[in-house]
Amino acid sequence: MHKKPRILVVGSFMMDLVALAGRAPELGETVIGSGFRTAPGGKGANQAVQAALLGAVTHMAGCVGDDSFGKEMVGALNASGVDTGHVKTSHDHPSGVGHIEIQSGPTGVQNRIIVVPGANYDLKPADLGWLKDEIKSYDIVIMQLELEMGTTEYVARLAHDAGVPVMLNPAPAAPLSDALLSNVTFLSPNETEAALLSGVKTDSEGRLSEDALKAAAAVLMGKGVTNVIITLGDKGAALCMEDGIKVVPSVKMTDVKDPTAAGDSFIGAFCAGYAAGLSIEDAMKLAVNAAAITVCGFGAIPSLPTLDKVTELIKERGTDELLLTKLGNLL
């Protein structure tokens, strides 16, 4: 019996309020939508659920409001197998919300998101004193940028000093100190975030060329980041190394509905695979398959796949029998 990987996510909870329309409104305009739904989400919660659904023992630390959204989000994590014993309830601010517009038209499915952090910012370093004794019990720590920066910096430093790998998903994009970056094992921005963090320009379509990818990664690794993985949307993800770039292509799907949690699915799946013993490249292959399934569902947490669904897709595509064998042995 192999030991299941242990993952800690210190991150955000957001109740997603999702409106669907043929196109997004212009400034001052009202358009008629085609649907509305709420779904529990938040980058931290999404990543925790994805890791748990793939077989990792996953713990979540965060903060929700004392309201119905908070109860629903914590319940969703518990139902997915995430340990929420370290989730704090704030009596000062309501649960965070994500206002999501999904535009489905001739150019494909695109989204626009406004995040209101609310109670997420009430998680402070003082609430995480238990980590000093427990941090070494985890195989990797996952964080994003939907908490106060001081809290993120505190956890990254604690994990790094204890020799525990740190995954930082730098979203939403924000300035990052060199001190924080030097404590990061894996930095996984998308192309826009990589450009903002490095100062390297994207092209007119918001893409980074291969040379630009190399340049952006070089800047970030020069600040102390050990590994840079830049997600490329429908093109997959790029592992940027000193000696070059390795692109793991995306898995093409025909029934794309909602890209909202694709990046979070990628992060959670990558960390579950890596913590279980997969190589970085194999963990990325697992992650692109998980993300491909995620975009075919509506809502964040409801669209995240189980390990069975991911292995089924890999079998269906017949692209990587060796990866299937490794997954069977590890997760």
Q: Does position 325 have pLDDT exceeding 70, yes or no?
A: yes
Q: Give the structural domain span for 211.
A: 6-23+34-330
Looking at the structure of the chain, the number of domains it has is: 1
The pLDDT assigned to 331 comes to 67
Q: Taking the chain, what is the end-to-end CA distance rounded to the nearest angstrom?
A: 10
d(C-alpha 44, C-alpha 141), whole Å: 11
Confidence of residue 241 (pLDDT cuts 50, 70, 90): confident
Q: Does position 258 have pLDDT exceeding 80, yes or no?
A: no
3-state secondary structure of 124: coil
d(C-alpha 272, C-alpha 283), whole Å: 8
What mean pLDDT value characterizes the chain? Answer: 93
Give the pair of three-digit tokens for residue 72: 């629903």
Q: Does position 195 have pLDDT exceeding 50, yes or no?
A: yes
CB–CB of 142/80 below 8 Å?
no
pTM for the structure as a whole? 0.92
The pLDDT assigned to 56 comes to 96
- Residue at 28 is within a domain: no
Q: What is the average per-residue pLDDT within 124-143?
A: 97
- Residue at 230 is within a domain: yes
Confidence of residue 1 (pLDDT cuts 50, 70, 90): very low
- Residue at 29 is within a domain: no
Q: Which of 122, 139, 258, 264 is catalytic?
A: 264
Q: What is the average per-residue pLDDT within 283-312?
A: 92
Provide DSSP, 214-244: HHHHHHHHHTT-SEEEEE-GGG-EEEEETTE
At 222, which CATH number?
A: 3.40.1190.20
- Residue at 1 is within a domain: no
How many other C-beta atoms lie within 10 A of the C-beta of residue 187? Answer: 28
Q: Does position 217 have pLDDT exceeding 50, yes or no?
A: yes
d(C-alpha 7, C-alpha 58), whole Å: 5
Confidence of residue 243 (pLDDT cuts 50, 70, 90): confident
Confidence of residue 145 (pLDDT cuts 50, 70, 90): very high
Reported as half-sphere exposure (CB side, CA atoms, 13 A), residue 165 has a value of 19
Kind and range of the H or E run holding 8: strand 6-10
Q: Does position 2 have pLDDT exceeding 70, yes or no?
A: no
Q: Does position 10 have pLDDT exceeding 50, yes or no?
A: yes
The pLDDT assigned to 261 comes to 87
Q: What does DSSP say about strands 35-41 and 14-21: parallel, antiparallel, or unpaired?
A: antiparallel
Q: Does position 141 have pLDDT exceeding 80, yes or no?
A: yes
CB–CB of 295/264 below 8 Å?
no
Q: What is the average per-residue pLDDT within 242-265?
A: 88
Q: What is the pLDDT of residues 153-186, one digit of tens each?
A: 999 999 999 999 999 999 999 999 999 999 999 9
Q: What does DSSP say about strands 166-168 and 186-187: parallel, antiparallel, or unpaired?
A: parallel
Provide the sign of the torsion angle of the four alpha carbons 155, 159, 160, 166, taken in this order. negative
Edge-to-edge, what's the strand order for the sheet holding 6-10? 83-90, 57-65, 6-10, 140-143, 166-168, 186-187, 227-231, 237-241, 244-248
Confidence of residue 257 (pLDDT cuts 50, 70, 90): confident
Q: Would you give the distance in Å from CA 276 to the centre of its chain? A: 18
Using alpha carbons, list the distances in angstroms from residue 133 to 62, 163, 283.
18, 13, 29
d(C-alpha 107, C-alpha 223), whole Å: 37
- Residue at 83 is within a domain: yes
Environment class of 9 (CB within 10 Å of its CB; exposed 0-12, middle 13-18, buried 19+): buried
In single-letter form, the type of residue at position 192 comes to T
Confidence of residue 330 (pLDDT cuts 50, 70, 90): low
CB–CB of 300/258 below 8 Å?
no
CB–CB of 269/306 below 8 Å?
no
Provide DSSP, 48-95: HHHHHHTT-EEEEEEEEESSHHHHHHHHHHHHTT-EEEEEEEESSSPP
> Which residues on neighbouring strands pair with residue 240, listed in sequence order?
228, 245
Active site residue 255: no
Residues 6+ apart with CB under 8 A from 24: 31, 101, 103, 110, 112
